[in-house]
Amino acid sequence: MRNSILELLSYAAASAAALAVDVGVLALLVSQAGWGYLPAACVSFTVGGVFLYFVSIRFVFRFRRITNRAMELPLFVGLGLAGLVVNTVVMFVAVEGANLHYLLAKGAAAGCTFATNFVLRRRLMFARLAHAR
């Protein structure tokens, strides 16, 4: 239990750093490159996810279930697709429905994706399997 709480807190800190990368890339793509907020949000979310992977395997999760390291990053990012769907839907609803600025919408979306991604990644990639009794 203590390990799970420590991992959750560490993942929260790593996710905050990844969110900073995500928001920075999002702001650059929209304000400087002229991208629409939804395509930019998809790209920035993926960049943040790759950053989070490297921080997670270095500082967050001690056990790594995936033995094929070449498959670990694609799986980590792939599991993040559930979060990307949530991210995109929340941003669209917040910007188009609630008329929020895209960066405020990103804050709401980040809160909605955190738990989904932590649970999926920890259970499927970074937790030991329970032994049959």
Note the pLDDT tens digit of each residue in 45-80: 999 999 999 999 999 998 899 989 899 999 998 898
- Give the sign of the dihedral formed by CA 110, CA 114, CA 115, CA 117: positive
Question: What is the pTM for the complete model shown?
Answer: 0.82
Give 10-51 pLDDT, tens digit per residue.
999 999 999 999 999 999 999 999 999 999 999 999 999 999
